[in-house]
Chains A and B, each alone.
Chain A
Amino acid sequence: MANKISDETIEYVGILAKLELSGQEKEDAKADMEKMLDYIDTLNELDTDGIEPMSHVFPVQNVFREDIVRNGDGREDTLANAPLTKDHCLKVPRTIG
C-alpha cells in the first residue's frame, strides 16, 4: 500500500508542527513521510484486536506529591536565557490587535 501525502496534508502538518518549510523542503518532507508511512503500515499485519494500548511499561497511575516550593528564586537566571525581555518579563510580538 503506497501512501500519498497531498500538498494540503503537508501544509496542515506544518501548521501543527509550527514549522515553515520551503518549497523543496516540503517536497522532501512528503517523500520522507510517504516512505516512512509505507514502512509503518507493516504494523497492520499484526492483529492487535483486544490489546490495550500501552503508554507505559509499568502500571503507573497518577503520581501525586504536595505542591511545595523547594527551589529558590531563579528569576534573573531564567530571564537571562530569554532572547528578549522587558521589565523582568519575556517580550513577544503583539498578540492582540
Chain B
Amino acid sequence: MEIKSMTAVELGKKIQAKEISAVEAVRASLAQIDKVEEQVHSFVTIDRAGTLQRAEEVQRQISDGTLTGPLAGVPVAVKDNMCTKGMLTTCSSKILGNFKPVFTAEAVRNLEKAGAVIIGKTNMDEFAMGSTTETSYFGVTRNPWNLEHVPGGSSGGSCAAVAAEECPYALGSDTGGSIRQPSSFCGVVGIKPTYGTVSRYGLIAYGSSLDQIGPVAKDVTDCAAILEAIASHDPKDSTSIARESYDFTGALRDDVKGMKIGIPQDYFIDGLDKEVKEHILRAAKVLEEKGAVVEEFDLSLVQYAIPAYYVIASAEASSNLARFDGVKYGYRTEEYEDLHNMYKKSRSEGFGAEVKRRIMLGSFVLSSGYYDAYYLKALRTKALIKQAFDRAFEKYDAILAPAAPTTAPRLGASLNDPLKMYLGDIYTISVNLAGLPGISIPVGTDSKGLPVGMQVIGSCFDEKKIFNIAYAYEQTGEYKRPALVQEGGRE
C-alpha cells in the first residue's frame, strides 16, 4: 500500500518498525499535496520547510527510543482555528490574516508530545461559522469526491485533506456539527468528544459552551488512538474535565451483541433525503444482524434544537469576537478618526458577512429587554433537550442518526439562504447542546457517488460505546476512496 493511503495507526506502526521514516511519511503527504491541492484547496498554510525539519527531529527521537507512541512521526493537519506557535493561525478570516500565535493550543501540544508532525493548517468557514467552508476569506475548499460540491463545514479543509490523502489524519473542531457533517460529506470518520474531554486552551473560541476539538481520520481505530493522544485534563481550560479513563482504543471490539441502540423516529422527517434514510436504516439492520437490539423511539424536542443553538452560539460569538478590535493583533483599517471609529471600521472590514450576521444576532439577544425572552429561553430549552437525551440513554446504549439530511450540496447552493443552511444541522446540533459525544462514519454513497455518513451518539463520557458500535459496523465494509485519489489526481 502506498504511504499516503495508510491510516495513521498503520503508518505509525511502520515508522516504529523502521520500515518507513518520519521524513518519508512527510514527503508522501507533500507529494500528494502537490498533486491535488490546487483542485481541492484544503489548506490555508502549508509549512514545507518546517515540517521536514520537524520530521527529522522526530525521527531522531524515534530512532533513539524516546518516542514510541502510535502517532510518532505521522503527519497531521490542524484546523486553522487552533493556535500553533509561530505558524499563521487565521480562522480563515481577513481579520486574523497575519496572526502568528505566541503559544500552541493544548490539544496540538499533546499531539506534538506524541511525536506528531504538523504539515499545515486547514481551511474552514470563517471563525467556524458555516456548513460549507465557503465563508473562508481564503477561498472555498472542494469536495474530493466531486469537485463541484462542497466538503461541508466548518472543518471542511480537515475532512477534505484526509479524504484526498493529503495527510493521514487531521484535527477539527465541532460547535454544532463542524466535525461530523464534513466527515459525512467527505466519507471519512470524525468524532466530537464529550464536552470538556479535550482542552479548548488555544482554540479560538466561537461558542465556548459548545466548542470541542476532535479527530478526523480514515477509520475508527485512528479516531480512538488520536483521541487518546489529545484528550487531557487541563487547568488552563476551566471547563476541562478530569476523566476516569482515557483508554479509548480498548473499546475497539467487533462485538455489539445485546447492545441497545435507539433510532429517533422524529429524525426521519421531511427534508431527510430518501437515499440517506435508506443507507442509515440499512446500516442499522447490519448492526441488528450482528446482535444489537435496535428500536425506534421518540426523542422529542427535535425541532427546537436549531433555534436554541443559534441564540446561544451567536450570543457567545458576539462576546468572544469582541476581542478583535484592531489593537492587539490582526487587521486594522487604514484610515480612522478616533478609537471607536477605528474599532468599528476594522471589524466591519475584517469580518465576513456570516460572522457579522451572527455577531449582530448575538448582540441583539443579549441586549437589555431581550435577554430573558431570547437568551434565557434558549438556555431553558437546552436544559429540556439535555433531559430528553438523559431519558433516552436510560434505555439505550447509543442513538443512531444521519449526520446530515443530505449528501454534500453543490458549491454556491447554500449561502443565499442562511436559514435553510442552518436546518442542515438538525442531527448534529442537539448533541453539542447536551454535551454528548457523537461520531460520524461512512455507510455508503448515494446515486451521485457522494458519501453518506451515519452518526452514533453516546451518553456523556460514553465514547467507548460509540467507538465499539462504529468499529463493529466498520468491520462489515471497506474504506472507500474518492476517484480523485484512485486516479492519483486529475491532470
Q: Which residues of B contact A84 (CB under 8 A)?
A: 332
Q: Is the CB of B380 within 8 A of A52?
A: yes
Least distance between A70 CB and chain B CB atoms (Å): 9
Q: How far is the CB of A33 from the nearest CB of chain B, in Å?
A: 6
CB-based contact A42/B327 at 8 Å = no
- A1-31 CB contact bits vs B (8 Å, 1 = yes)? 0000000010011101111110001000100
**Counting CB contacts under 8 A, is A69 at the interface?**
no
Within 8 Å CB of A16, what residues of B? 318, 363-364, 366-367
A95 to B360, CA, bound (A): 25
In the bound complex, how far is the Cα of B201 from the Cα of A61, in angstroms? 19
Q: Is the interface of B mostly helix, strand, loop or mixed?
A: helix
Residue of A nearest to B196 (CB): A58
Q: Is B357's CB under 8 angstroms from A83's CB?
A: no
> With an 8 A cutoff between CB atoms, is B269 at the interface?
no
> Which listed residue (A9, A13, A18, A74) contacts B344, Cβ 8 A?
A18
B331 CB contact (under 8 Å) in A32, A46, A83: A83
Check A51–B360 contact: CB distance below 8 A. no
CB distance from A23 to the nearest CB of B (A): 13
Q: What is the total number of residues of chain B having a CB less than 8 Å from a CB of chain A? A: 71
Pairwise interchain contact B311-A57, C-beta atoms closer than 8 A: no
A46 to B366, CA, bound (A): 20
Q: How many whole Å from B271's CB to the nearest CB in chain A? A: 15
Chain A residues lying within 8 Å of B365, measured Cβ to Cβ, are 40
Q: How far is the CA of A35 from the CA of B100 in the complex (A)?
A: 38
The distance from the CB of B461 to the nearest CB of chain A, in whole angstroms, is: 10
> B residues near A, CB below 8 A?
86, 98-100, 102-103, 195-196, 209, 235, 238-239, 241, 301, 303-304, 306-308, 310-311, 318, 322, 325-332, 336-340, 342-345, 347-348, 351, 356-357, 359-367, 374, 376-384, 386, 418-419, 433-435, 460
Instruction: List 13 interface pairs A-B (beta carbons < 8 Å), by A numbering.
Output: A16-B366, A18-B343, A36-B361, A39-B310, A48-B381, A52-B380, A57-B460, A60-B239, A65-B235, A83-B326, A90-B327, A90-B328, A94-B338
Known: A19-B344, A32-B360, A48-B380. 19 other contacts (CB 8 A): A9-B364, A13-B364, A18-B347, A20-B345, A32-B418, A40-B365, A42-B304, A52-B380, A53-B376, A53-B380, A54-B382, A57-B435, A58-B460, A60-B239, A81-B102, A83-B329, A83-B332, A92-B327, A94-B338
